[in-house]
Chains A and B, each alone.
Chain A
Amino acid sequence: MSDKTVSQSPNLSRRALLKAGLATGVAAGAVGAARADGDPLITEIQDWNRYLGEGVQSRPYGTPSEFEAHVVRRDVEWLTASTESSVNFTPLHELDGIITPNGLCFERHHGGIAEINPADHRLMINGLVDTPLVFTMEDLKRFPRENRVYFLECAANSGMEWRGSQLNGCQYTHGMIHSVMYTGVPLKLILEEAGIKTNAKWIMPEGADASAMTRSIPMEKALDDCLVAFKMNGEALRPEQGYPLRLVVPGWEGNMWIKWLRRIEVGDEPWHQREETSKYTDLLESGKARRFTWVMDAKSVVTNPSPQAPVTHGKGPLVISGVAWSGNGRITRVDVSIDGGRNWKTARLDGPSLPKAMHRFYLDIDWDGSDLLLQSRAMDENGYFQPTKNELRAARGENSIYHNNGIQTWHVKADGTVENVEVS
């Protein structure tokens, strides 16, 4: 392992230190002669094996091990003018399975994190309804509720890669996504409680934060699978995810999942709010722009190995792992290429396969130590295949910002380091 590789990750340097420690230990053993032959971590009694650890209640709300301190959301400072209207990224390369831990779900705020006491929170339904209503959190918890796992992807995920490979790490290229189990009330039940008028065609959810975030959503979607959620992964929503209440809009771009949800207006036309006109519209090469591009199409990425997670073990068995998702339903297949898309093998999907949720795939290979050009290609239940980046550019140009679901390539070099590249 080169020094350069070591310096890239605190995790690696720790391993390097351990290795160094092991070597010293062995050398000392040779001199002392009294030491047993072997790994001193085994042959010598360790502190944690002898002394008592902390008792129960030393960590009333548990947090990850101190050795996982590097597993955090990270941001890219140059992207935005201020942190209150900005984004950070989920460390996908450190995670496995299909659920994102609450504290690692990427954040995107437009007016900072609103801190709201649930006792002070209200949800209003108004507009084209029989009776405009106000609900407290306690009222909402008296509706029948559901549990559903869904991914949430920002429409701008991979948006910095339209003009070419730019950021070195799947956390940055693909980390504007998380996958969470929500508990909430079907939006349909809440709308029916107020009574929807026959000419009602759209809803507009609104946040209580300093941006008063708003989006127009067609009634068909509102009545289909949207949830008004108050729990994520079993516990209350995190403040940065909209505590105490957020909208869940399965399979559609994350900006529509209004956080700190305080109002839903019902109307007969869309409102053309700032986030669906000046932003979250997809500028094409012709100068025309698509609007209301809600669905997040099928997409996948290899999370390991990747630039932040190089191969440290040399040739031999190598687990290639990644995630795939589709806003149109289940992922039915993921193919992986190790030669830049010339030849493909179908990967193994493992864990629950739920519609509009993240899926986990693995391809277990025997690495011969030569350079790899790793790609993954997702297929969803409608037979839609993830396109190449060049196919997307040919159809849209390079100024779309949003909805870049093109196939990602990682160059794994013989020394195990990995780089974000594009290929012929």
Chain B
Amino acid sequence: MSKFLKVLSLGVSLAALPVLAGAAQAGDPDKGAKVFKKCAACHAVGENAKNKVGPQLNEVFGRTAGALDGYKYSKAMIKAGEEGLVWDDATMTTYLEKPKAMIKGTKMAFAGLRKQEDLENVIAYLATFSSAAPAAEDAQSAAEPETAEAEVETAAANATAPAPAPVSAMREGGVLGLGRVATEDEVAAWDIDIRPDGEGLPAGSGTVADGEGLYSENCAVCHGDFGEGVGRWPVLAGGQDTLTEERPEKTIGSYWPYLSTVYDYVRRAMPYGNARSLSDDDIYAITAYLLYLNDIVEDEDFELSNENFAEIHLPNEDNFIADDRAEEPHYADKSEPCMSDCKDSPVEITMRSRILDVTPGSVDDDDAAGMGGVD
């Protein structure tokens, strides 16, 4: 985190900071850091920020649109830059309100920030990573915040504990009488899980055709237009009959056992970085479209709903088995293992990691992408 931010997050007066104007001045960078979490799945900012799905945002103010080296912009964004679009307070505000309205054809899937407050705060936050203030006012040297920081560190040392968590009143029943009864609305707010038998599905529906638009707006930026996956983001479609191959492609159509998992997961965790933002009907539509991408339904008019959901079975459902590791020969063998002369001849090296060395810090790891994965 930059020193600027450290100061801000601990609540030192803004007076010590360069004079900002417009949204950046009105906004609170500390609150903006929270708003930025919506952006962080695709954009990095701060020390060592690199381009991700979207370009890194250090020094974004004063930057010509579509002009950052090493990032592959949409044609529309490059054109806007060539026509003179430079990011400042006003242009950034307009863009973040509704990206696609300003730059038709932008790759940025994000729908936009509706609240004026969020806009101001996130711009103020981004401004702390740009030496040019968004409205091009004179920026003071960073010396003053440094001084302020010293004071802040003393303050941190004297920090008192936050207020304790509330205590529930003792209740009747239970073993110890701890906790309180959850209300129906509370349970409904959090209990959003779906089981393969359809338990938990909300009433609603959506068609393949509806899903196509929603998918391209919310999902395609990472998962690709046809579910093929961009870079290392998960592949969602295809891969049928690859499970016994050297490089199996595990997709919804080729691997996942249950459709309920698709609905449940999209509902709880997608779009990545903006979870819980889709309506129940939107999720039915996106799920229907994913069935279509996987050739499990073929009709664009197909409508998925809580009524017909449990009738749909994914092709690989029967290929999951219980944990039978204990049947493997080395599990069954409880005899004392060999301690000496266990191999007939001296041991030979059959493989070295240097052959596919992809260890961080090794000579050529920049372009190296190893095999396998963690997820």
Contact = CB atoms under 8 A, between A and B. Distances in A.
A and B found bound together: yes
Interface residues of A, number: 123
Nearest to A388: B330
Given A206-B190, A290-B324, A81 B353 contact: no
A265 B193 contact: yes
Interface of A: 57, 60, 74-82, 84-87, 108, 110-112, 117-119, 121, 124-127, 130-140, 142-143, 154, 156, 159-169, 172, 176, 189, 192-195, 204, 206, 210-212, 214, 262-263, 265, 267, 269, 271-274, 277-279, 281, 283, 285-295, 297, 307, 335, 339-345, 373, 377, 379, 383-385, 387, 391-392, 395-396, 398-399, 401, 403, 411, 419-424
A193 B178 contact: yes
Contacts of B167: 136, 138-139
Nearest to B275: A210
Given A138-B166, A342-B342, A210 B269 contact: yes
B346 to A, nearest CB: 7
Given A290-B324, A293-B325, A344-B342, A163 B372 contact: yes
Contact of B371 (A166, A385, A395): A166
Nearest to A173: B353
Chain A CB within 10 A, most for which of B255, B257, B269, B353:
B353
Nearest to B252: A278
A192 B175 contact: yes
Given A165-B351, A212-B275, A395-B329, A274 B264 contact: yes
B260 interface: yes
Interface in B239-287: 243-244, 246, 248, 250, 252, 255-258, 260-261, 264-265, 268-269, 272-273, 275
A168 B353 contact: yes
Interface stretch (B96-104, B110-118, B131-139, B355-363): B355-363
Contacts of A342: 340-343, 346-347
B181 to A, nearest CB: 6
A291 B193 contact: no
Given A130-B173, A169-B359, A292-B323, 6 more contacts: A131-B174, A133-B182, A134-B168, A156-B374, A271-B194, A290-B320
B45 to A, nearest CB: 13
A385 B358 contact: no
Contacts of A335: 337, 339
Contact of B323 (A119, A132, A293, A341): A293
Interface string B40-51: 110000000000
Given A124-B186, A277-B258, A373-B349, A211 B168 contact: no
A287 B346 contact: no
Contacts of B233: 81
B347 A281 contact: no
Nearest to A395: B328
B164 interface: yes
Contacts of B365: 78
Given A119-B163, A274-B261, A75 B360 contact: yes
A136 B164 CA distance: 10
Interface string B168-189: 1000011110111110001100
A211 B41 CA distance: 12
Given A57-B157, A335-B339, A384 B331 contact: yes
Contact of A273 (B157, B261, B320, B352): B261
Given A134-B182, A210-B273, A273-B265, A166 B175 contact: no
A156 B371 contact: no
Interface of B: 37, 40-41, 52-53, 157, 162-168, 173-176, 178-182, 186-187, 190-191, 193-197, 222, 231-233, 243-244, 246, 248, 250, 252, 255-258, 260-261, 264-265, 268-269, 272-273, 275, 319-325, 328-331, 333-334, 337-343, 346-360, 362, 365, 368-375
A46 to B, nearest CB: 29
A78 B368 contact: yes
Given A165-B351, A424-B348, A424-B350, A160 B165 contact: no
Contacts of B339: 335, 343-345
Contacts of A192: 175
11 contacts: A78-B369, A119-B166, A166-B356, A167-B359, A212-B275, A273-B261, A274-B269, A278-B250, A283-B248, A288-B321, A344-B342
Nearest to A379: B337
A115 to B, nearest CB: 9
Contacts of B360: 74-77, 172
A159 B372 contact: yes
Contact of A168 (B194, B243, B362): B362
B352 A165 contact: yes
Nearest to B242: A287
A131 B173 contact: yes
Nearest to A129: B182
Contacts of A164: 351, 355-356
A166 B320 contact: no
Contact of A193 (B162, B176, B255, B323): B176
Given A111-B269, A277-B257, A339 B346 contact: yes
Contacts of A379: 337
Contacts of A80: 232, 373-375
B362 to A, nearest CB: 7
Nearest to A137: B165
Contacts of A156: 373-375
A170 B285 CA distance: 46
Given A168-B353, A422-B350, A82 B41 contact: yes
Contact of A139 (B157, B168, B191): B168
A51 B196 CA distance: 70
A212 B268 CA distance: 6
Given A57-B157, A78-B370, A373-B347, A272 B261 contact: yes
Contacts of B324: 290
A314 B146 CA distance: 48
A138 B370 CA distance: 46
A92 to B, nearest CB: 15
Contacts of B165: 118-119, 121, 136-138
Contact of B347 (A77, A125, A176, A341): A341
A271 B341 contact: no
A167 B353 contact: yes
